[in-house]
Structures are given as C-alpha cells and as structure tokens.
Structure 1
C-alpha cells in the first residue's frame, strides 16, 4: 500500500510574523522597542511636515517662525528660483516646457515599441534638440537666452540627458575596443577606462571646466557648460563600458562563432547577435548607472553652475527665508527621489519582464 505524505500547511501571515519577530522573549522585547521608536519618529516627522506646518504665504516669514512645524511657505514663495534659477522671468515657460519635453522623451523611451536602435536614437535626438531650442532660443521667434542664465531643474535635466546621450554610445565603442583582438588597441583602451575610473568625478569636472582652457586654443575651448558635460560623459562612459563588457562576457561564445560560420559580417554580429543579449544581461547595472549619473549632476555646483541645488541655496540664502533651509533641502530631496525612484522601479519592471533576475 502506497503511503501518501501530506505537506504541512503554509504558515499564515500572523504566524510568519510571530516566528520572525517574536520567537523568543528577548526577540519580542527588541521588536516591540524598535516598533515603538519607529512609530514615535514617524509621528514626529508627520507632525512637523503636515499637522504643524505652514503652507501659505499669507502670514509671511513671521508666521513660519512662530509655528512649531515646517515652513513650506518658502517653497510657495521661491519655487520659481528652485525650478528655473536665473532664467529670465518672462521666458520661464520655455524652461518649464523643456522639462516636460525631457519627461515625455523618457516615457517614450520606456515604451517597448520604441526599443529599436533607430527609434530610440530618433526619440532622444529629437527630444534633446527640442529641449535645446526651447532653452537657447534665437530661432522661431524665441528670445535668445545664453547658457549662463540656465539653471534650476532644467539645467539638471539637460546635464543628465546630454551626459547619457553622449556617454552611452561612447561606452559601447570603448567596450568593443577593449575586447579587440589587437593587443595595442585593447590595452590602450583598458588603460583609458581604468584611468578615468580611478579619478573622482569632481576632479574631472574641475579639469574640464578650469584647467582644460589653458591647454587648448581659443577656437577649441567652447562654452564651459559643454566642457563639463563632455567630462561627465567621459566618466559615465568609462563605468558603462565595463558594464557593457560584462554583459558581452555573459553571452556564450558559441553564438558569435556560429554567426561567423554563417558568414555574417562583424557589425552584423555585433548589432544583431552580441549587443542585444549583452544589453539584456547588463540591464540592472545600467539602470543603476543612470540613477548614479542623475544624482551626480549636483556636483556641477562646485564648478559654478546654477543647477537645482544651487537654486535651492539661492531660494533660502537671500532675503528673509534664511531659517527655512531644511524645508528647501527636503523639497529638493523629494524631487531627486521622484526621478530616481521612478528609474529604479522601471528597472525592476524590466528585470521582471525579461526574467533577468532568474538567470
């Protein structure tokens, strides 16, 4: 007679919580103590940020100083400086529209129908060109606004987008050069990549912004903004090149050998066989690199650019709002959180869609 073994029922949620946090008396005491501290801190934060906060500008800074909570009135009074920086007041609609263009471009890039090299290049190229025309002006009846007047969120997004737009193709080229069969090419490329990766980004930005003009003729110097973007793109490409190369190493060598046996040319093997699978393997690390690059845009404040962090400093650093710096930084942190969290959640969605995490 065959014996049937019945598996024990899966523990319920309450039983699982009891086993994980209240298995022993000491563990129960520690869990309750941690829970009490978390509830206390959450209540204090909620009371400061919402219940006791001041949201309107009717009472002015005096009403904020008299209140026990946060002073969100500084955001209501100085939001234009935070978002637009030094951009001319009457032209700030162009800066706002340029930010919308970047968001739309990013959303289109996340739609699978645009996941081809030609379409994604068209979306990013057209979006960046439209962003530049809106910000710079000088055509289509738009007043000219020089790069020295750009600032706020628009400048942060511009640096991030152009860094990725220039750095990503450069990263693919560096990855391909490093796996070249010619030793002098692969070793030279590896030396360049490792040399850039060994330097902090701030030193590269300082070099491109301040030192490089002394080594270049006047006609080759260009604007400081574009030199900083080039340095940021070089730093991005060095790290992304290693990510792409790691993805290539995850592709079985037999596939490329089979493509060679079928008579496919080099660029056909790279574009149709190797790179699609390599980018699929490298997707989690690539999303992480995009997140890091977006956060690193705040470093350009060191070389004199009025990005969103510098705009926040100006929002509370002048006039009667000097006491409200915590609220300004909290608001800027929330803006960074929205963009970074959206990128990370989209990366998690792509991992589930492509089943990368199961490999």
Structure 2
C-alpha cells in the first residue's frame, strides 16, 4: 500500500500540470517580494482588461448618431457601422462595391490556398496567384463581360491596400528568384553587379524608394515610360520586396548539401532542370517560414502609400470620421483599421511559426 502511494505521488508530480505549477511558483512566487510584484502586476492587468471590456462592450454604442455616442460613456462603434463602406471601399462607386468585396475575397482565397501544402508546386502555386490576381484586377477595373470600367483613381480603402500588396508579391517573387540565381552566377561580373544592386536597395528605406518612384521618376524618364503613379509605386515596393526575398531564397539554396547539384549533373539534367526541379523546391521549403514573415511585412508596409496621397484603408478610415459629426470618435476607427491589419498579420505569423516547428520536427 505504501509503495502504491509513493508511486502515485511520483506520477502526479511528473504530470505536465504539476510541472507547470512548479515552474509558476519558481518564476513568480519564489520569494515574498517576487510574489508581491506578481500580484500587483496581475491587479493592474485586471484593471486594464476590465476597463477595456467596459469601454468596448458594456457601455458602447453600436448603432445610432453622433449625438447618441456623445451620451454614452463607452466606445462609439456606430461610426464604424455607419461608415464601414468608406473604410473598406474608399471612393469606389457605391453601386459597384460588391465587385470590390468579391475582389478582396479572391485575394484572401488565394492566400489561404497558398498555405495548403497540397498546392506547393512550382506549376500549381504560380497559377493560383495569377488566377487570383487576375480575378481581382478584372473585378476591380471591369471593362469586359458587361462590367463598367472603374479607373484606379477611384479605388480605395481595403481594396487598394489589397491590390498594392498582391501586386507587390506577384511582381516581387519572380524577380526575387531571378536575383537570387544571378547572385549565385559563376560569372563574377554578373554576381558582383547583382550583389551590388541587392545591397544597394536594401540599404535604402522603403519610403525613399516610394518617393523616388512617385515623384522623381517622371522627371528622369521619357513621357511614354512614366505611366500611372500607382503602378510606379507598386514597382518600387516590388523591387524592395524582391531584394529581401532574394536573400531569403539564396539562404535556402546555400542550406542544401552540395551533393544535390552534383547528383543532378550525374543524372544528366541541365541547369534549368536542376534549378526548377531540385534546387528551388527544396530551397523554398527551407525558406518558407522567413518567406511568410516577409509577406507579412509587405502587407504592413502598404500603409506607407498614404503619405503619397493614395486613399488606402488608413486614409479611408481618416476620411470616415472627418465629416458628419464623427470627428471625436477617431479612436474607434483606428482600432477597427488596426484590427484588420492585426487579423491578417497575426494569422500569417502564427502560420509561419507553425511551419517552422513542423519543418524542425520533420527534419529530425
């Protein structure tokens, strides 16, 4: 009986919950002073959480007029429910905003499909992005199959943010692959010039590149090459994305054993067959977590185009409370915009962390 009791005690102490309690006591309650600091911090966190819940939910106003919000002591979500179309779609024609919503869903579906390992193929993944991006552009601009034309100057809100993000990835990813391969070239001139270009662009802040594309290029290029300011900015963002992604891809290639290329040569494969069928698939697999992080950064950096006068989601949010008596409820609008960014970036970052853990587990 005594042996059974001892065995039970040992088993209980080795359970994950028992170890967690032991770690909690050691880290936060090992001394009276440490326990006091822990309790004070927990109290402050509890007060902050309760204050936020009270402001955001218990005493908030979800529908109504600015006068109704002024009478309440909590958040005024009525500004979001009343102006959400302006935040999400900007200046896009009201009767055609369903197209903008479907276009955003097309890009969202493209990102979700890209996260499914079943579609991780050099032939399938580019097709998914081209179809998703083409669907987005067709729905937004129209001009065929009976849809009225809506010029880019009328695009705005979340749809414009999504367009800049998707264009950056669609243009930047192939360019990154080209730069990574050129930097690994056996010709010293090509590899040196590519390395100089990559390091030169990486040394510049993105904002300076966007300003150069939007303002300086029209003075340096002939008129037939100037194009629209939006597309120049997208090209600048794509180049900035490409130089960082090129280094990520190159690191994935360098992580491969040298025997991979030697085996391909022994099998009689030429350079392009070796790169497309053996090197790049494995390099992308190894570089997948940092690639996800780079895509997250590209999405967050779309907010910079507001400085260049574009009506993206942040500018649309600013316009939503600038009229109609909503000007005192800017915090709720910015919170809603921040929630949009947080939902996308947090989801992808957690997915990247999951991939990193999975790859470590599978490599053991």
Q: How much does 1:357 deviate?
A: 8.8
Distance 1:252 1:224, change over 3 A: same
Root-mean-square deviation over aligned CA pairs: 1.6
Q: How much does 1:355 deviate?
A: 3.0
Query: Secondary structure at 1:161's aligned position in 2?
Result: helix
Cα deviation digits, residues 179-225 of structure 1 (max 9, x gap): 11111111100010011101111111111111111111121111111
Q: Tell me which residue corresponds to 2:42.
A: 35
Q: Tell me which residue corresponds to 1:125.
A: 130
TM-score by length of 2: 0.93
Q: How much does 1:318 deviate?
A: 2.1
Q: Tell me which residue corresponds to 2:225.
A: 220
Q: Tell me which residue corresponds to 1:292.
A: 297
TM-score by length of 1: 0.94
Q: Tell me which residue corresponds to 2:107.
A: 102
Task: Say whether residues 1:192 and 2:192 are aligned partners.
Answer: no
Q: Tell me which residue corresponds to 1:306.
A: 311
Matched residues in 2 for 1:219 and 1:249: separation? 41
Worse overlay, 219-228 or 168-177: 219-228
Distance 1:357 1:223, change over 3 A: farther
Q: Tell me which residue corresponds to 1:3.
A: none
Worse overlay, 262-271 or 163-172: 262-271
Task: Say whether residues 1:93 and 2:93 are aligned partners.
Answer: no
Q: Tell me which residue corresponds to 1:160.
A: 165
Matched residues in 1 for 2:180 and 2:20: separation? 48
Map of 1:238-249 to 2, 5 A cutoff?
238-249=243-254
Matched residues in 1 for 2:361 and 2:182: separation? 26
For structure 1, list consecutive stretches of 5 or more residues without a partner in the other structure. Answer: 1-5
Cα deviation digits, residues 279-308 of structure 1 (max 9, x gap): 122112111111100000000111111000
Query: Secondary structure at 2:242's aligned position in 1?
Result: helix
Matched residues in 1 for 2:253 and 2:346: separation? 28
Distance 1:330 1:357, change over 3 A: farther
Query: Secondary structure at 2:76's aligned position in 1?
Result: coil
For structure 2, list consecutive stretches of 5 or more residues without a partner in the other structure. Answer: 1-6
Matched residues in 2 for 1:133 and 1:275: separation? 31
Matched residues in 1 for 2:207 and 2:20: separation? 49
Matched residues in 2 for 1:304 and 1:198: separation? 25
Map of 1:1-359 to 2, 5 A cutoff?
9-10=13-14, 11-57=18-64, 60-355=65-360
Tell me, yes or no, if the aligned pair for 2:290 and 2:352 is still in contact at 8 Å. Answer: no
Matched residues in 2 for 1:319 and 1:65: separation? 14
Matched residues in 2 for 1:161 and 1:74: separation? 29
Matched residues in 2 for 1:357 and 1:56: separation? 51
Worse overlay, 324-333 or 108-117: 108-117
Matched residues in 2 for 1:327 and 1:267: separation? 53
Cα deviation digits, residues 13-56 of structure 1 (max 9, x gap): 33332122111111111111111111111111111111111111
Matched residues in 2 for 1:244 and 1:28: separation? 48
Tell me, yes or no, if the aligned pair for 2:92 and 2:155 is still in contact at 8 Å. Answer: yes
Matched residues in 1 for 2:215 and 2:322: separation? 26
Matched residues in 1 for 2:285 and 2:132: separation? 25
Tell me, yes or no, if the aligned pair for 2:184 and 2:191 is still in contact at 8 Å. Answer: yes
Query: Secondary structure at 1:164's aligned position in 2?
Result: helix
